[in-house]
Each structure stands twice: as C-alpha cells, then as structure tokens.
Structure 1
Amino acid sequence: MTSTFSTATSNFAHTTTNSLANKEPESLTQPEQKSIPNALNQTTKTQENLSNWMPDVYLQNAVARALEISVSEITKEKMLKLKRIEIGHLEENLASLQGLEYATNLKKFEHYWDSKVSDYSCLEGLVQLEEVSLNGVNVTDENFPMMGPNIELLNLTAASVTDAVYDKITPLKSLKHIVFQLNPHITTIAPLGTLTELEQIYIPKCGVSDMTVIKQLPKLSTLPAGDQNIGTLAPAITITEKELNYDALKHEIFLPFSMMPQRLTNFDGYIPPFVMSNDPDQLSIEINSQQLPSTRLLVSHEGVTISGVSKEELASIEKINFRAKLDNPRSSYAKPDNYFIYSISRGTYSRSFQVEHQQKNGTVQVQYLDRNGHPLRASKYLEGEVGKRYDASTSEYKLALAGYRLDETQLPQNANGLFLVDKQIVRYIYKETPVNAQNVTVYYLDENRHEIAEKKTIEGLVGEPYDTSTDKYCLSIEGYELDTNSLPDNRKGMLGTQAQVVEYCYKKMKAPTNSVSSESKDDSFSEMMDKQVDHATTNSSGKKTTNSSRGKGQVLPKTGEKKKPSFQFFGVFLIGALGLDFIQKKRIQNDWE
C-alpha cells in the first residue's frame, strides 16, 4: 500500500516486531512445555514422518523458512525453537495449520495473505503468543480463536469478522494495539472501552460512527479513523409517506438530515455536516433504485429537497437510498490532547428508507387489575398512528377506583411510548383501601339460649381473617360443658361489611352423688342435737340425765335438701320442751320418794 496510513501501519508493525524480537528468549524448560503432546517425549534419533503430524507442504515450507533449515530437518523438537512465523503470498494455497501446535514458544504469528485455512484452533494452546495477524476473508467470528492472556497486538485487516468478534477480544486484557482496517462490518469500538491498556487503534475504512468511547482509554495515543463507510450495511429504515414532507403545490419532497441516524460523532460530541453539493460524486439519491439527476436536488444545511415529484410518482415510491460524503477536513474538528495520530477525516454516510403509503394505526390497551391480576373495571384504549407517541399516564387513563389505591411500586414502564404495529398493554395494579369491618360478636348460651357469660367482640378491617376457636373466645365456663355437637360453622372466617354472630352452646353439668358425705352431714347434726339435750337435762347437782327420745328411725334431711329456718327452730323448740317436761316429772318423783 502507498498511502500515508499504510506507511504508518507498516512502521507500527515493524516497531512492535523489533521490540519483541529484542526481548530475552525464554528457557526451553518453562512449565508450558508440559503441555507438549506425549509423542514429543518419545522422539527417537530416527527421523519422524513429517507428513503424519504436519501434512500441509505449504506450512512445512513456511516453518523451514522461519527456522532457516530444510523441510527434511523439521522435527517436533526443533519446533520448540520457532519464535516467529510469517505466512504470505507464497502460502496462498495453505489449507491447514496442523503441526503448529508443537511451536509452544511461538511469540509472533503473521498471516498476511488470503489462504484456504479455516481452522485456527491450534493458536489457542500457544500461550506464549504476543502478536497475531489474521488477515483475509477466511477469518470469521466463528473460527477466530480464543487466545491466551499475553496478546499485545492483534491485526484483523480485511477479515470477515463483525462486531460479534468482540466477545473473544475483550478478554485480552494485555492488548495494546488492534487493527481493524478495511472492514465495514465493524460499526463500533465501544466494547474496547474495557481494554484500558490500549495504546493504538487502527480502524480506517471501517463503518464506525461513534468515537466518544476513547475518553475511557487513558493510554490511547493513536487513532487513525478516516474514510469511515457509515451505514453501508445497515438495514433499511421504515418510514411513512407523511415523513417525506410532500408539498402538493410545489410537487416537492423534503428529506431532513435530522432523520438520518448514527451520524459520525467526534470524541467531544461534534457531528460533521454533509457536503453542500448536488454533485453525484458528493451526494446522490436513488428512488426505487433509479438515481435522480442532480438538477432535481437542492441541498441545504437542513436537508435535501427533491423537485418535480407528481402525486403519481409519490404513490409509487417504495425505497429511497441516500448517500453523501462528509464535510470534515482535518481543521474542522477537535483532536484529543497528547495524541500522536488522530484522524476522522473524509468518510461516507449511506442510508436506505422503506416507504409505507398505507398508514397503520397502533393500539394500546390500559388494564386495571388487583394484586391477583383480576380486572377491577373495563379496559380503556388508545389508538394512533404507528410511530407517534401515546401517553397513558394522564388522569384520563390513570384512574382512581373506589375502595382501591394505585400501587405506586408497580407503575407500568410503558405508560408512555410510541404506537407500534403490534398491540401493547399498559397495566395499572391496585391495592385494596383499608376499610373498617363490621364486628363479629361471640355469644355463650345454655340449652335454653340464655347468656351464661359476657359476650365478646372482634374488630378489624374488611378482608382480615378472624378465628374464635382459640381459648380467647372458646371459653371454659364453670358448671357447664361445651356442646361439641353444635359448634358454629362460622367460628372462623373473614371480616366483612356485614355484622356477624358466632354462638357457642353449652350444657349444664349434673351434680355428683356422694353417700359418704351425706352420712357425715347427718352425724354432725345428731351430735349438735345431743349437745343441746345434754345441756338441758343437767340438774343442779351437775348430774346429766339421758334422753332416749331420738331413735334410730329418725329421718334427717337428704343431701342437698333445703329446710326453711322456721321448721328448724320448731324442731329445736319441741325437743327442748320435752326435755324440760321430763326434768319436772323427775323432780316430782324424787319429792315423793
């Protein structure tokens, strides 16, 4: 190549090569040698059959040239001395790199020419590699190898890789130099922002539009990025007939430059303009693959006006191709401080637009749901032209519902947006508003439905559960037992807007019969009567007379039987009177004697 950039790239490559070549060679007994196939340890003095482990004669010639020996002298052991190999135009028919895996001390691999190689996996085990050049259309995202951590230089000139290859490049944290020139499939360098050791990025004649990422690379000092072909491979953008801004009176179409996405952007945010010329080499427009004559184009800072467009021609437009060169000479844009090379000059911008004439409307459904996803009211709908904005966050659609409040933690992310061809759904989620419930009253009734304990009341909010089967509400009442055969069905439930009654029924407990206790009470009463009679029959001399008026057949009150106090007094009085009568008669008898 004869361009200034080619000279710079060549100097860069030679400088890097010489710097690496001047490093001290590593010992052949490094730990990495353990990964050499076991066959190497079994090498005998007898010359091995080279074609068995390195079948491609073009690779044999390249290895012999690099080692400065004849092909017949190549052995696996001598492969350990291989530090650098270059595959150029002499190996354009090279089809296999098999055998190169034995060069475990290889530091530099240069494949500068298109060949028939499609498998580069042998490079994955060569962990000493520091510089790799994989040029040509055979290098793709799929066969690009996952290489070791010591890679400092990577050259992918004219390779068929795309932005997807960054997944295999970003792990190379030691990378200092990367070359992507002559590849319009590379449309961004943003992923390189994580490789903070980068010093040089070469991307001339690629498709990169945004240079702002370089602010994340503190060591970067070289960025040749001129002649970008932006949008060349980008898919067509769908627009409506309305966006052509047709003037029916003037028969003109106006294409504003503001409708052009992903324009070239300098590191400081500056966007260079398009050229102000209708020269077909500078700016061209095709309608349905037919290039318009420059006489129909009027270019301004705002856009391009196409004249002479009839309504019939307007209705026939299916596709518009726009292409313009950038007006960005070296003096028109800023350059980062302390950069050795920085260029974004020249370049071309291209875009295709697919025109839809039948206007399509989009629909947005607004739903109102509770926390379980159940609808609380009928949905509302918005309709509008596809691509236009809608707003479902206004009070017309963001509704207040009685008994509920909007859950502010689950507001829909798509309450605002653009109408699409496909139906969209906006969901508002509501929570129940706390409402005081009517009370639950718990009654305690006997068999005759008389209250036998004070009633209890349960209060709370609508929807809260209650439970009266606990000891707090299901009581133990003295003298009664709970009728378990008639437990209330609603002893558990939910508080609601209607008052509720829970009734627990009890049966009266029967008194136990105990004969020993009755006799004890009878004996106690008899002793009391004896004491009264004894007192009444004691004479003046202190002698006590006997009283046999109480016989064994006397009937006493039964256990539990209640006597009125008047009968008890009458009994005591009668016994006392009989006793006095007996004493009087005894005195008279004594007097006669």
Structure 2
Amino acid sequence: MKKIFKLLVIICVVIVSAVPFSTFAKETDATDIEQETTALKGDNLETTTPDNQTEIKDESPLTEDKAAENKAKETTSKTESSTKETNFQTSSETESDEKETSEPILMAGDGSETNLIPDANLRATINTKLGKPADYFPTEADLGNLGGSLDLRNTTYTTLDGLQYLKKVIALQAVGITAPDGDLSYIAQMSSLVYLQINTSSFKRTAGLEGLTSLSNFQWTNNGQADSGSGSGNEMGDSFDPRTAYDFSFVPNNTALKYLEIEGVYSVDPKYSFLSDLPNLEHLNITISNMNDVSSLAKLDKLTYLNVNSNYISDISPLKNHSIYNNISASNQVVVLPGKDVYAGDSLTIDKPIKPDSSAMEYTLPANPVTTIAGDTIVMSNVINDCIVNYRLYNYETGENDISTPGVMMDFKSTELTAGEFSGQIIQPINVKAPAVDAAPVTVKYVDESGTKLADDTVLNGKVDETYTTTAKTIENYQLKETPANQTGTFTSEPQTVTYVYTLNDGAPVTVNYLDENGQNIAPSDTLIGKIGIAYQTSKKTIDGYKLTKTPTNASGVFGVDAQTVTYEYEKETNIDPINPVDPVDPVDPTDPANPINPISPADPVKPSDPTNPLNPTSDSGVVKATEKTNLPHTGDTTNHSMGLTLGSLFLVSGVILLRRK
C-alpha cells in the first residue's frame, strides 16, 4: 500500500513539473515569432525573456535533465534572436548610408523595373560613361554616383528626362543636339553643375534654366539656327547669322559666374542690362549679336577680357575709365542711323554718331554725295538719287539679308586704343524726294469758347508733304480746353487752320461777411464762385435789431486769382419807449348869456361952440395967459362895450378850435 502511495506521489510530481515546462516552451516560440516579425518590420528591438516566465522557471522543481534541456532551448532561442537582430541592424545601417549618399538612391540592380532615362540615345550615352552595356537600365544609385563631365554631341533626343538624377556631374556640354525646349528644366536640376556649354543646338528659348545658381562658366552659342547666313556685294552683316532672340535675365542667379560667352544669338534686351549684376565676371565674349550699349559693363571691376565684335555698338565712352578700355575688341560694328528725308539737290547734316569723338577717330567718307566733316557734324551736299546705294541688312527672324536700306555708307575706326580695336560701318538711310514745292500756310489760332481771340495767330510755312507741328500757348487765366485733331499734319497746297480752344480758369471765391461794430458775425456768410474776370454782385441783408452803418466799396467787382472778402458793417438799433399822449378834455360848450347886453349906440357927438366971450391972454399988465392942454389916450382906455366885444370874439374862436380837435 505504501509503495502504491509513493508511486502516485511521483506521478503527480512529474505531471506538475511538465505543465510549466510546456508553458515556457510555448511562450518561447511566441517570442521567436514576434522577434522575427519585428525584424521584418525594421524595428530594432532587443530580445527579452518575460518576467512571468522567469518566475515560473524559478518556482518549478525541474529535474536536472529537464533543466538542462530547457536551458539548451533557451540558449538556442536567444542565439537565433540575436542573429536576426544583427542582420536587421546591418541592413538598416547599409540602407541609411545609401540614403545619405544619394538624393535618393535605389538599391543596386539593373533598373529594369523603373526606366529613369526614357530616351534610348541618352541612356546609351550615360551607360558608356558608367561603363555599362547600352541596354542597361541605370538605377538612381548609378546616376547619383556618376560625377565628372558629360558630353552630348550631334544627337537627337526625344527627351532629356533623367539628367535631373545626375547630382554629382559638374560639367555638361551639349553640342549640336536636338531636344525639346522645355527639357532645359532637367538640366537646371543638376545641382552640382558649374560648367554649362550649349552650342549649335535646337533650343529656341532659355526658359527652364532659372534654377541654375552655381555656374562659374556659361556658354550659349549659335543656338536655334536653321542655317548659316551669307552675303555678297553691298549686303551688310555677312557673318551675322543669329536666328533667335533669347532672354538671359536668369544668368545673374549665378553670382559666382566668371566666364560668359554669348555668340551668334540675339538678346531680347539689346543693352544686355543683366551684365551689371555679375560682379565676379572676368571673361566676357558677346559676338555676332545685337548689343548696342556697353554701359552695363562699366562697373565690372574684375573684367580682364572683353570681346564684343560684330555688334551694333556706336559708343564705347562708358568704358573710358575702365582698365579694360585699351584692350577692347569691338571691330566690325554696324551702326544704322535713323532715316532722313532729303529733297533732291539739298544737303543733309548729321551729328557724328561715334563716341568718344576725338581726333583719333578716323572716317572714310563717300565721294558721292560729297561728304565732309564740319566740327561735330557730317555734311552731305547735293544729295540726289544717284548717290544712294541700296544696302541690305540682316534680318534674324528670317535668317536673310532682306532688310532693304537705301542710303549712304561710311567707315570709321578709332586709333586711340593701344591694344584693342573699335571699328565698323555707318549707314545713313536716306529717302530722296522730288524738289520741294512751297505749301500753303498753316494758321494757328487761340480762342475762348465763344471764339474770341485770346492771343496772336501763329503762321507756319513749309513745303508740300512736309510735316508741321503746332503747340498750344500759355495764356494767363485760361486753360486749354481741347487739343485740335490737326495739331500735327502735313503741308499741302491748300491753306489750313489749327484752332486751340481755351476756357477761363476758376476764380478764387468771394466771401461776404455781415459784422457788428465789434467785428462779430451777426448773419451767415455767403460765398460766391465764378470764373476769373466774371463780375460778381453782393447785397446787404436785413437783420432784426441792427441797422447798416457801412456799405463796402467792393460790394461789386470781378472774380480774380486771389480770394476776396466783402464786409457789411452793422450796429444795434437804440430802443426809445414812446410817451403815451394825454387824451384831450372835452371842451365846454359855450352857453348863451342870460341877458345879453346890447351894445349902446354912441350919442351924437356935441359940436363945440365958439365961446361968446373968448378969454384973451394975459396982458403985460400981469395977467397969466392960459395955455391949451391936449391929453393923449392911454393903453386900456376904452369903453365898456369894446371890452365885451373883444372877450366874446376870443370865446368864439376858442370854441371853434376845440370843436375841430374833436
């Protein structure tokens, strides 16, 4: 019985020991799978043993055989995991290095999966440079590692696609090739390019090269041509065969540019203004082009070589103070002057066109017409049709000498330059017209809007078919209203009139003020507007409580250039309280007297009687003789009836007066 019990215990121990070992084995296998998956994904993870596994292992009472077997499996698992991790890290480091050395670079191979260079001719040229078979498909890594220079010559390419992957190529020569104009942008993406020569190729524009910024040497010569120009006899520009005008404004993007050559092409800017933005330029060659101004070169202090042969330059004086001046190569210039009309038999005088002008400038003058130098001018005498030669100038748009230019030609050459040359031909185009016929006059009038004359007429005289030009006059206080349609025109056999119409300028305003004795406004001011010279009229205002004390002398006048002020002066009125009149007292009606006294008729006067016994004056015997006495009436000595009559009359008059007042 005891033996059976011991056997059961041993079996239980074995079973219990087997369970954690199986669990550990499963977890280890899962860990291996996870590590393999992580390695494929590129995650650089370290292999670790789960903590719970360690705990289980420590707690399990394994036998020595089982423990050894388990340890062996664990060691194998770690070794495999470490190997996978090492392989992944190596792959990652290699891939990282490749990414750093290219922008970007594909894994090495034949590139057949991706054709980076579609054109077979271009691919063959690059494969030769790579040392690969012609049918090899270069990878981006191949192209990115290709350095040095690349020559493309005398080949037609359907596209230049693929050149943009040549990140280490420093020099590109494209000579005699044909390719789409738009593909120049692929060249601009060659980021290490410092030398670029494009010669006698099909490109008719420079668009796409704007991305170039590192060039130190740029040559653009004889491109866009269909054929070479040729000439004979009196044709000018025999060596001129440019066929296209290009935009070179992108060139200054390359600030380190030292060498520039433009030949056999025209510039859309004949002044070549962009050259002033190339301060490091040392070598400049612009030949067989349309350059007509060297001003842009004046500040290129590092310039040591200059060749501008076969252009249209007439003035090199802007370079007079430059160190390159005496070494300039500027031969075979063609200077075409503005055309002139000359009546048959007349003379033509022109200014000397070549600068700088000095005794060192030599002219070879024609004998027909007789041509002489007179100070700063050239005089051609007795110009007739027989003197004129039909020169033919080069036309870059057609590539032919098909610009017919009848005129007179003369040569020039400067002997001032010690080691250089400045020479060429001058062409003066001339149109010889029939002998002049006096034309009818052109009368120029200056009037206002009503037709009133404002200034004296101007009379112009000339020859039939000559051009006349009139100008407006400045007239005080007036401005031009309209310019006549025939301001300029041609003299004819019929009289002509040109009329300039003017209108008055606006006058300055007239301000009317209404002030009291203290200078204060007592009514709103008025403002009058009108044309200069037009009359104005102001008027006073009726203002309550004020009376006008002064009327201005300029109450009327005319509008002028300067502002005017008209002032009406007022003062307050004095208020006097009226005295109310006393109503008159009703007069008393007179009453008839009760007993009127009838006037008494005077009594008959007593006649004096002679005295019976007159008294004799006193005699000498002592009798006093009475003397006659006469008494005069005194004031107020009247009879009673006279006084009453007077009083009655007074009462009567007073009554009448009182009655009238009522």
TM-score normalised by length of structure 2: 0.44
Q: Which has the larger radius of gyration?
A: 2
TM-score normalised by length of structure 1: 0.48
Q: Which has the higher strand share?
A: 2
- Which is bigger in relative contact order (C-alpha 8 A, separation at least 6)? 1
